[in-house]
Amino acid sequence: MSATRPVADPTAFKDNARLVLADPVLRRSFRGAMDFLMDKRSAQFPDAEAFERLRGLGERVRQHALAQLPDLLERLEANLTANGIRVHWAENAEDANRIFLSIARSHGATRMVKGKSMVSEEIELNHRMAEAGVECVETDMGEYILQLDDDRPSHIIMPAIHKTKEDVARIFADRIPDAPYTEDVNELIAIGRQALRNLFRDTPIGVSGVNFLVAETGSLVLVENEGNGRMSTTVPDVHIAITGLEKVVEKLEHVVPLFALLTRSATGQAVTTYLNVISGPRRPDEKDGPREVHLILLDNGRTQAYRDERFRATLQCIRCGACMNHCPVYARVGGLSYGTTYPGPIGAIIEPHLLGLASTRDLPTASSLCGACGEVCPVRIPIPDMLMRLREAARHEAPSAAGTPALKGQGAARTIGETLAWKGWRLLYAHPALYRLFAWIAPRLRGLAPATRQDGPGRARRCGRRAVRCASSWRSGVTGGHRADREQRRRPATEMRR
């Protein structure tokens, strides 16, 4: 990868994308990785009908959970508490980091080991803890590589997908004491594992994300392949889990179709190596496990998405990453270009709720609207529709329906010219006398209408005049000529029916 990296700022999306597009090595590695993931996924769904049935089930499970989200969250909290898990509610990233810090301080901890968690990226846990003097060490191999190189994830499932094996060899040789330079992938993994292994034993707090929360049993379900998630949640004395509040499902049996869809869609595996179900801290007769388990439930804009019917389906997401793998824009510009925690189509529909539309308004436009993301989404989120709604919301200030909270930054993409034009239009329509004056003046100003070389001045004047006439007849009504015109047009069809 080139020396200059894309910056973590969604307003720089276009500049970031230009930077990546000019880097042939990066483009090649993204293209190769996306082709590989798409092939693996499609091999797991050989029967289109069976896939659609499973998708339908996954969609219903997620919609069923969201339809009763407030009740399920109450049940979840009651059952988690009964199981001995302490529940914390965080309205935003600041709250969540404060909770992490207060737990760390109460145990005198200066280090945490962390399994993979995109929500912890969302709150910038590592940086906030470092500022407060607590080291947070990544134990997922991809995240560990990125942390050593002070880089960011470019994919939600495979965070270091933009790194080549040569990159990793150099990073390990430079940053891990006594590590030799090798480009053998198995040797590199062994070096990383060895460096991490002792940390689990010597660190008092383990951090993890959560894939699903089960309300009826008060359980946290974690899906992973490397075993570092299980180590982070069982070896340290304290386990802190963090996740978005939309991850709840009602029953344990509801996890089954979601798990089947998640692993197949994400990595093309029928099952993952580990499926952890955590239902409380270590019991008196048990020999291992944490003595304390905490769950932080993060809102951070999710309630706003939930309350707006146009965007609620965004919360159905199970974070499989399939929409990214199949997106022709993501496959070319890569995850770092988006400058957000969640890149690609899922990022384009969720980040406006987390950060507001003012800074993320370019993301919903980063799509060809080919529909591939919607077709592969295992829980049938209508992503292209969402992208269109967000594009519209970026240009219009008013929320869609009475009582619906406005999306933060709604209308941010509207230019000053557009704002003035719409204000002027509203003024004319509110005052008939003003409108009549406008209709009288406008044709007399047609000489000022711009003439293009191709069309010639006569054509431009005719177009200008026609536009004014059309606007005038449309407004007035709609009253006269226009209605008559419509009747005229309708007649043949009516007569034909007779």
The binding site for ligand SF4 (CB under 6 A) comprises 317-323, 346, 376-379, 381, 383
d(CA 373, CA 367): 10
Given the structure tokens 């990595």, which residue do they identify?
267
Minimum CB–partner distance for residue 12 and ligand SF4 (Å):
23
Q: How far apart are the C-alpha atoms of 210 and 262, rounded to whole Å?
A: 13
Alpha-carbon gap, residue 322 to 264, rounded angstroms: 9
Kindly list the distances between the CA atom of residue 140 and the CA atoms of 5, 106, 230, in Å, as whole numbers in the listed order. 22, 26, 11
Q: What are the contacts of 101-110 at 24+ separation with CB within 8 A?
A: 101/128, 101/129, 101/132, 101/134, 103/205, 103/238, 103/240, 103/294, 104/129, 104/134, 104/205, 107/204, 107/205, 107/237, 107/238, 108/204, 109/134, 109/203, 109/204, 109/205, 109/238, 110/134, 110/135
Q: How far, in Å, CA of 396 to CA of 407, rounded? A: 10
Nearer to ligand SF4, 161 or 179 (CB): 161
Q: How far is the CB of 346 from ligand SF4 (least distance, A)?
A: 4
CB nearer to ligand SF4: pick between 191 and 323 = 323
In whole angstroms, how close is the CB of 118 to ligand SF4 at the nearest point? 10
* Shortest spacing between CB 337 and ligand SF4, in angstroms: 17
Give 185 or 271: the residue with its C-beta nearer to ligand SF4: 271
Q: Which residues of 98-137 are buried (b: 16+ CB within 10 A; e: fewer)?
A: ebbbebbeeeebebbbbbbbbbbbbbbbbebbeeeebebb
Q: Report angle CA 311, 316, 320 to the nearest 5 degrees.
A: 125
| Nearest residue (CB) to ligand SF4, 19 versus 313 | 313
SS (H, E, C) 427-492: HHHHCHHHHHHHHHHHHHCHHHCCCCCCCHHHHHHHHHHHHHHHHHHHHHCCCCHHHHHHHHHHHH
Question: Where is 180: in which H helix or E strand?
Answer: none
Q: How far is the CB of 320 from ligand SF4 (least distance, A)?
A: 4
Give 156 or 199: the residue with its C-beta nearer to ligand SF4: 156
Closest to ligand SF4 by CB, 188 vs 258, is: 258
Minimum CB separation of residue 319 from ligand SF4 in Å reads 5
| Least spacing, CB of residue 30 vs ligand SF4, in Å | 17
Give the residue with the Cβ less far from ligand SF4, 192 or 344.
Answer: 344
Shorter beta-carbon distance to ligand SF4: residue 80 or 320 = 320
Q: Which is nearer to ligand SF4, 153 or 411 (CB)?
A: 153
Least separation, in Å, of the C-beta of 371 and ligand SF4?
13
User: Least distance (Å) from ligand SF4 to the CB of residue 257?
Assistant: 13
